[in-house]
Amino acid sequence: MLIDTHAHVNFRSFKDDAEQTLKRALDAGIFVVNVGSQIDTSRQAAELAGKFPEGVYAAIGLHPEHTHSQYVDEEETHFKTREEDFNESWYEELVAHPKVVGIGECGLDYYRLPENVSLHEQVKQKQIEVFKKQIRFAKKHNKALIVHSRPEKGSDELYEHMLQIFAEEEIKKLRFVVHSYTHTPEFLQKFLDLGAFVSFNGIITFDKTGNMEELVKMAPLDRILLETDCPYLAPIPMRGKRNEPGYVRFVAEHLAKLKGVELQEAENLTTRNAKTLFGI
C-alpha cells in the first residue's frame, strides 16, 4: 500500500467528484491525508475523512498565503485569497475529530509578496506569528506538523527564519514534515538533523536541474514520505492533467529508481514513515 501524505481533494478542483476520487485511490490501495489551507478547506478535509471508515484522514491549518489577501495563479487554479488569522477556537472544534491527524499546512511563503515593497516585512512578520501559533497548537494536541516553505528566488532568508523559529519553539519536541521540499541540500540536512521527515511529489519526475535527484539521494529512506499535492504538480506521465492521489504511485516508482531500491521496499518504508508521523 501507499499513503499520499499531502493531497487537496478538499479543494474546489474536486468539487464535483471528491468522493469518487478518494474511492479510486482506496480501491488502488492508497490511503490519503487531505490537507487544509484555511478554516473552510480544513472543515472540508475533516468532513471528507468522516465519510470513509478508513484510509482517508485530514490535516487542519492556515497556509501562509492566506494570512494576507492576494491573487494566486497556480497550476490548475486561480483565486484571490481571503485574509485570515489563526483563530484557535475555530480549529479547536476540528482537532477533536478522530480522523484529524495533523496541523497544517502552515509555514512561510516569501515567493509571492505584495507589489508594495514597504509591506514585505509586515507580511513576513504576520506569517511568522501565525506559524508559531500553529506549532504551539500542534504541540498542545500532540499532532504532526505539516510545514510549507517557499522562498523568494535566489534567497535563503525564509529558511534562516524557519530555523530560528524551530529553535525558539523547540521543534525537536514535535513530529513534523517539510512538505514538497525543493531548496538546497544544505538546508535539508539542517531539517533532518532536527528530526524532520521530508516529502517528495511529482516534481521529482520532471525536474531537469538535477537538484531534486540530489535531494532524493541524500535523504534517508526512513525519513521520506510520498505526496501528490494534488490538484497541482501531476507527475510524468500525467503532466497536464489534474493531479489526484492515485498518481502517487508514479512518484513512488521514480523515487525507487533514484534510490536504487525495489519498488516494494520504497512503498513499505514510506508507508511506515507516514504511519509513524501521523500516528495512523
230-248 average pLDDT score: 98
pLDDT tens for each residue of 167-208: 999 999 999 999 999 999 999 999 999 999 999 999 999 999
pLDDT of residue 172: 94
Residue 228 has pLDDT above 80, yes or no: yes
Q: Which residues form the domain of 197?
A: 2-278
Report the candidate in 22, 3, 49 with the shortest Cα–Cα distance to residue 273. Answer: 3
In whole numbers, what is the pLDDT of the chain averaged over residues? 95
Whether residue 179 contacts residue 146, with contact meaning beta carbons closer than 8 Å, is answered with yes
Q: How confident is the model at residue 80 (pLDDT cuts 50, 70, 90)?
A: low
pLDDT tens for each residue of 118-173: 799 999 999 999 999 999 999 999 999 999 999 999 999 999 999 999 999 999 99
Q: How far apart are CA 158 and CA 149, in angstroms?
A: 8
Q: How far apart are CA 158 and CA 110, in angstroms?
A: 7
pLDDT of residue 79: 44
CATH number of the domain encompassing residue 213 = 3.20.20.140
Residue 94 has pLDDT above 90, yes or no: yes
Total count of domains within the chain: 1
Q: Which residues contact 39 (CB under 8 A, 6 or more apart)?
A: 62, 84, 87, 90, 91
pLDDT of residue 71: 52
Residue 240 has pLDDT above 50, yes or no: yes
Q: How far apart are CA 231 and CA 233, in angstroms?
A: 7
Torsion of CA 94, 76, 3, 252, to 10 degrees: -160
Report the candidate in 119, 117, 190 with the shortest Cα–Cα distance to residue 159. Answer: 190
Answering whether pTM is above 0.85, one says yes
pLDDT tens for each residue of 23-58: 999 999 999 999 999 999 999 999 999 999 999 999
Q: How confident is the model at residue 8 (pLDDT cuts 50, 70, 90)?
A: very high
